[in-house]
Protein backbone atom coordinates (compact mmCIF):
# COMPACT_ATOMS: atom_id res chain seq x y z
CA UNK A 1 0.00 0.00 0.00
CA UNK A 2 1.30 3.47 -0.79
CA UNK A 3 1.65 5.84 2.17
CA UNK A 4 1.63 9.64 2.02
CA UNK A 5 5.29 10.02 1.02
CA UNK A 6 4.81 7.44 -1.79
CA UNK A 7 1.64 9.16 -3.00
CA UNK A 8 3.33 12.57 -2.97
CA UNK A 9 6.33 11.25 -4.89
CA UNK A 10 4.17 9.52 -7.54
CA UNK A 11 1.97 12.63 -7.93
CA UNK A 12 4.93 15.04 -8.12
CA UNK A 13 6.69 12.81 -10.70
CA UNK A 14 3.50 12.69 -12.81
CA UNK A 15 3.08 8.94 -12.41
CA UNK A 16 -0.35 9.53 -10.86
CA UNK A 17 -2.33 12.00 -12.92
CA UNK A 18 -5.66 13.65 -12.25
CA UNK A 19 -7.83 15.89 -14.41
CA UNK A 20 -8.63 18.29 -12.90
CA UNK A 21 -5.52 17.99 -10.80
CA UNK A 22 -5.78 17.37 -7.09
CA UNK A 23 -4.42 19.69 -4.42
CA UNK A 24 -1.90 18.84 -1.72
CA UNK A 25 -4.61 18.81 0.96
CA UNK A 26 -6.38 15.93 -0.84
CA UNK A 27 -3.43 13.63 -0.02
CA UNK A 28 -3.85 11.91 3.35
CA UNK A 29 -1.73 9.43 5.34
CA UNK A 30 -2.47 6.55 2.95
CA UNK A 31 -5.20 7.74 0.57
CA UNK A 32 -6.21 10.51 -1.82
CA UNK A 33 -9.56 12.26 -1.41
CA UNK A 34 -11.64 12.63 -4.58
CA UNK A 35 -14.57 14.94 -5.23
CA UNK A 36 -18.08 14.18 -6.43
CA UNK A 37 -18.49 14.66 -10.17
CA UNK A 38 -21.46 16.08 -12.06
CA UNK A 39 -22.82 13.06 -13.98
CA UNK A 40 -25.32 10.70 -12.35
CA UNK A 41 -27.35 7.70 -13.46
CA UNK A 42 -30.50 6.34 -11.88
CA UNK A 43 -32.38 3.22 -12.83
CA UNK A 44 -35.78 3.79 -14.46
CA UNK A 45 -38.67 2.20 -12.61
CA UNK A 46 -40.03 -0.40 -15.02
CA UNK A 47 -42.51 -3.13 -14.26
CA UNK A 48 -42.29 -6.59 -15.85
CA UNK A 49 -38.69 -6.01 -16.97
CA UNK A 50 -36.07 -8.61 -16.09
CA UNK A 51 -32.43 -7.62 -16.43
CA UNK A 52 -29.60 -10.11 -16.90
CA UNK A 53 -26.60 -7.91 -16.10
CA UNK A 54 -24.07 -10.77 -16.38
CA UNK A 55 -25.01 -11.30 -20.06
CA UNK A 56 -23.32 -8.25 -21.70
CA UNK A 57 -26.15 -6.02 -20.55
CA UNK A 58 -26.57 -2.70 -22.37
CA UNK A 59 -28.25 -0.35 -19.88
CA UNK A 60 -29.16 2.39 -22.37
CA UNK A 61 -32.94 1.86 -22.29
CA UNK A 62 -33.15 1.23 -18.55
CA UNK A 63 -31.34 4.19 -16.99
CA UNK A 64 -31.61 7.95 -16.94
CA UNK A 65 -28.49 10.13 -16.95
CA UNK A 66 -28.43 13.55 -15.30
CA UNK A 67 -25.72 16.18 -15.66
CA UNK A 68 -25.47 18.81 -12.94
CA UNK A 69 -23.46 22.00 -12.93
CA UNK A 70 -20.69 22.51 -10.38
CA UNK A 71 -22.21 23.44 -7.01
CA UNK A 72 -25.66 22.08 -7.97
CA UNK A 73 -27.13 19.71 -5.41
CA UNK A 74 -27.25 15.94 -5.86
CA UNK A 75 -29.91 14.40 -3.61
CA UNK A 76 -30.21 10.80 -2.50
CA UNK A 77 -33.34 9.76 -0.62
CA UNK A 78 -33.43 6.92 1.92
CA UNK A 79 -33.30 3.50 0.18
CA UNK A 80 -32.35 5.13 -3.13
CA UNK A 81 -29.60 3.82 -5.43
CA UNK A 82 -27.69 5.87 -8.00
CA UNK A 83 -24.43 5.80 -9.87
CA UNK A 84 -22.13 8.79 -10.00
CA UNK A 85 -18.57 9.57 -10.89
CA UNK A 86 -15.62 11.30 -9.36
CA UNK A 87 -14.89 14.80 -10.60
CA UNK A 88 -11.27 13.81 -11.10
CA UNK A 89 -10.44 11.56 -14.01
CA UNK A 90 -7.52 9.41 -12.94
CA UNK A 91 -4.72 7.83 -14.94
CA UNK A 92 -3.02 4.94 -13.18
CA UNK A 93 0.27 3.62 -14.51
CA UNK A 94 0.55 -0.15 -14.96
CA UNK A 95 2.61 -0.34 -11.76
CA UNK A 96 -0.33 0.74 -9.54
CA UNK A 97 -3.80 -0.57 -8.83
CA UNK A 98 -6.27 1.07 -6.46
CA UNK A 99 -9.35 0.66 -4.31
CA UNK A 100 -11.99 3.31 -3.87
CA UNK A 101 -13.69 3.56 -0.51
CA UNK A 102 -16.30 5.75 1.06
CA UNK A 103 -15.46 8.10 3.87
CA UNK A 104 -16.41 7.15 7.41
CA UNK A 105 -18.09 10.52 8.06
CA UNK A 106 -20.47 9.88 5.13
CA UNK A 107 -21.06 6.25 6.12
CA UNK A 108 -22.17 7.46 9.56
CA UNK A 109 -24.94 9.37 7.79
CA UNK A 110 -26.04 6.23 5.92
CA UNK A 111 -24.19 6.61 2.60
CA UNK A 112 -22.62 3.59 0.95
CA UNK A 113 -20.26 4.85 -1.77
CA UNK A 114 -19.50 1.53 -3.44
CA UNK A 115 -21.91 -1.34 -3.23
CA UNK A 116 -19.53 -4.05 -4.36
CA UNK A 117 -16.82 -2.87 -6.76
CA UNK A 118 -13.94 -1.03 -5.07
CA UNK A 119 -11.10 -2.38 -7.27
CA UNK A 120 -9.45 -0.30 -10.01
CA UNK A 121 -7.11 -2.20 -12.30
CA UNK A 122 -3.58 -1.14 -13.33
CA UNK A 123 -3.57 1.21 -16.30
CA UNK A 124 -7.12 2.47 -15.70
CA UNK A 125 -7.97 5.92 -17.01
CA UNK A 126 -11.16 7.92 -16.64
CA UNK A 127 -13.46 9.01 -13.84
CA UNK A 128 -14.26 6.40 -11.21
CA UNK A 129 -17.85 5.21 -11.10
CA UNK A 130 -19.33 5.18 -7.61
CA UNK A 131 -22.32 3.09 -6.53
CA UNK A 132 -24.31 5.20 -4.09
CA UNK A 133 -26.91 3.72 -1.78
CA UNK A 134 -28.57 5.67 1.01
CA UNK A 135 -29.21 3.05 3.67
CA UNK A 136 -29.96 5.70 6.28
CA UNK A 137 -33.14 7.47 7.32
CA UNK A 138 -32.19 10.98 6.15
CA UNK A 139 -32.23 12.55 2.69
CA UNK A 140 -28.62 13.30 1.77
CA UNK A 141 -27.42 16.28 -0.27
CA UNK A 142 -24.04 16.82 -1.88
CA UNK A 143 -22.60 19.63 -3.99
CA UNK A 144 -21.53 18.31 -7.39
CA UNK A 145 -17.94 19.17 -8.27
CA UNK A 146 -17.17 20.31 -4.72
CA UNK A 147 -17.78 17.77 -1.94
CA UNK A 148 -15.16 15.16 -1.08
CA UNK A 149 -17.01 11.88 -1.63
CA UNK A 150 -14.48 9.05 -1.53
CA UNK A 151 -10.87 8.09 -0.98
CA UNK A 152 -8.50 6.33 -3.33
CA UNK A 153 -6.06 3.82 -1.82
CA UNK A 154 -3.18 2.73 -4.05
CA UNK A 155 -1.20 -0.48 -4.22
CA UNK A 156 2.03 -1.23 -5.99
CA UNK A 157 1.69 -4.03 -8.55
CA UNK A 158 4.45 -6.62 -8.29
CA UNK A 159 4.60 -7.35 -12.05
CA UNK A 160 2.91 -4.60 -14.09
CA UNK A 161 0.88 -5.90 -17.06
CA UNK A 162 1.90 -4.77 -20.57
CA UNK A 163 -0.08 -1.92 -22.12
CA UNK A 164 -1.56 -4.15 -24.85
CA UNK A 165 -2.96 -6.52 -22.19
CA UNK A 166 -4.46 -3.60 -20.28
CA UNK A 167 -6.10 -2.27 -23.45
CA UNK A 168 -7.40 -5.72 -24.42
CA UNK A 169 -8.98 -6.85 -21.16
CA UNK A 170 -9.50 -3.65 -19.17
CA UNK A 171 -13.16 -2.89 -18.51
CA UNK A 172 -14.58 0.62 -18.64
CA UNK A 173 -11.33 2.30 -19.75
CA UNK A 174 -12.06 5.93 -20.64
CA UNK A 175 -15.69 5.68 -19.57
CA UNK A 176 -17.65 8.91 -19.94
CA UNK A 177 -20.87 8.03 -18.10
CA UNK A 178 -21.54 6.01 -14.96
CA UNK A 179 -23.29 3.05 -16.62
CA UNK A 180 -21.83 2.46 -20.09
CA UNK A 181 -22.20 -0.80 -21.92
CA UNK A 182 -19.27 -2.99 -20.88
CA UNK A 183 -16.44 -3.31 -23.40
CA UNK A 184 -16.41 -6.68 -25.09
CA UNK A 185 -13.19 -8.65 -25.06
Q: Convert the pLDDT of each residue in 91-146 to its tens digit.
A: 999 999 999 999 999 999 999 998 788 889 999 999 999 999 999 999 999 999 99
Extents of the domains making up the chain:
4-44+58-169
Number of Cβ within 10 Å of residue 85's Cβ equals: 23
Of the CA atoms within 13 Å of residue 145, those in its CB half-sphere come to: 10
- Within 8 A by CB and 6+ apart from 97, the residues are 119, 120, 121, 122, 154, 155, 157
Facing residues of 156 across strands?
Answer: 96
Tell me the pLDDT tens digit for each residue of 18-41. 999 999 999 999 999 999 999 999
Distance CA 169, CA 9 (A): 29
Tell me the pLDDT tens digit for each residue of 87-106. 999 999 999 999 999 999 99
DSSP 3-state percent helix, strand, coil across the chain (nearest 5): 10, 40, 50
Phi then psi dihedrals of residue 92, to 5 deg: -90, 135
Classified by CATH at the fold level, domain 4-44+58-169 comes out as Deoxyuridine 5'-Triphosphate Nucleotidohydrolase; Chain A (2.70.40)
Q: Are strands 125-134 and 148-156 parallel, antiparallel or unpaired?
A: unpaired
* Active site members: 131
| Res 52: pLDDT | 82
Nearest to 146 by CA among 84, 72, 81: 72
Distance CA 130, CA 71 (A): 18
Furthest C-alpha separation in the chain: 53
Amino acid sequence: MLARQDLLRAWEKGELRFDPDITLDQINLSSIDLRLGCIFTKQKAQSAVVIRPAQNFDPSDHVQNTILKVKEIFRLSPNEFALGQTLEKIRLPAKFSAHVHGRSSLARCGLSVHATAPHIHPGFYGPITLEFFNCGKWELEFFAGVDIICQLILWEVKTPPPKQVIEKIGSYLGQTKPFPAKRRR
